[in-house]
Structure 1
Amino acid sequence: MTKNIKELEQEEEELSRAVRSSAQQIWQAGLGAFAKAQQAGGREFTRLVRDGSELQKRARSVEDATETVARKAERSSRRASGTWGKLEQVFEERVARALATIGVPARSEMEALNHRIDELERMLAELAGEQMRQAAAKKAPAARKAPAEPSARIPAKTSAAKRPTTKSAAAKRGTAG
């Protein structure tokens, strides 16, 4: 039994050494992994910064190119609109000449005619109003005089047989006379 205890103690000691050695190796492996991660992380961080800088430069160049294209497109648009304006003016002038050639009055001539018509209508309205005032003025003194007999004011009705027949009156009635 003494041998067994000594053997057991020895085995236990060897096992303890093996465990300590394994623990030491595990600890050292962990420290090595940490050191490598730090080194790789630093290198990786540096690589990411470098890649980000390159990407930022590319984004700026794309942005500059976009702005340049937008400016050029705007200039082209302004030039094209000026060209369209000139083309439109030439077209309008040619159409106006063609219409004048066939005798269609221009807009300015139509506006002048409309103005003249408005002026003539106003003058006619004034004349009509003046004539109505003159007629009313003539009737006013006659209305003040009292007639001697009421029948003198109202003409007597004549029968159809006694009325004179003219061609126009007969034509209106539809008979020949």
Structure 2
Amino acid sequence: MSKKLPAEDDDEALARAVRTSAQQIWQAGLGAFAKAQEAGEGGRSFTRLVRDGSVLARRAREVEEATGTVARAAERAARRSSGSWGKLEQVFEERVARALATIGVPAASEVEALRRRVDELEMMLAELAGRLPASDAPKKRTRRAPKPGPADEDEGA
């Protein structure tokens, strides 16, 4: 009897479903009226059906209003709690930063400044090394083979 409504993002399908349901409800009302006329009760049955329908419509409106009220309250609570979480997160971050500074751990900005300074010094060293004449440049040391000792001489004999 009841049909599941399509997803809210499909507006056209939702409109078709509502039109179909409204048409079926109208036809059910006409059928109920016809049955009441056949039973010979006519006006009394019709009046009772209208009264019952009005009660159901009023209940549906009350449920809809209550749902809207609950949804609005939940939205307000979510906004308040997200603000509170943001404040709590900020306080936590500040306390952690203070604790790290107390034990001597440098801040990220300090590490970044130090990295930039090291990069500058490396560039300056490379520039100075390029200015040195070839004869003044430090010579590379080569490893010499160890001199044979007395134990080495015995093995060869």
Shorter chain as denominator, the TM-score bin is 0.5 to 0.7
2:95 is matched with 94
1:173 has 2:146 as partner: yes
Aligned residues: 108
User: Normalising to structure 2: TM-score of the pair?
Assistant: 0.57
The C-alpha deviation readout for 1:43-91, integer Å capped at 9, x for no partner, is 2222112111111111111111111111111111111111111111111
Q: Name the CA distance, whole Å, in 2 between partners of 1:54 and 1:45.
A: 14
Distance 1:85 1:45, change over 3 A: same
Letter in 2 for 1:94: R
Q: Name the CA distance, whole Å, in 2 between partners of 1:175 and 1:104.
A: 53
Letter in 2 for 1:52: G
Relative contact order: is structure 1 or structure 2 higher (C-alpha 8 Å, sep ≥ 6)?
Answer: 2
Q: Name the CA distance, whole Å, in 2 between partners of 1:60 and 1:74.
A: 21
Q: Sequence identity, in percent?
A: 69
Q: How does 1:82-121 map to 2 (within 5 A)?
A: 82-121=83-122
RMSD: 3.0
User: Normalising to structure 1: TM-score of the pair?
Assistant: 0.52
Give the match's secondary structure for 2:41.
Answer: helix
Letter in 2 for 1:57: R
Letter in 2 for 1:173: P
- Whichever structure has more helix as a proportion of its residues is 1
Give the match's secondary structure for 1:173.
Answer: coil
Q: Name the CA distance, whole Å, in 1 between partners of 2:129 and 2:85.
A: 53
Q: Which has the larger radius of gyration?
A: 1
The C-alpha deviation readout for 1:89-117, integer Å capped at 9, x for no partner, is 11111111111111000111111112212
Distance 1:76 1:175, change over 3 A: farther
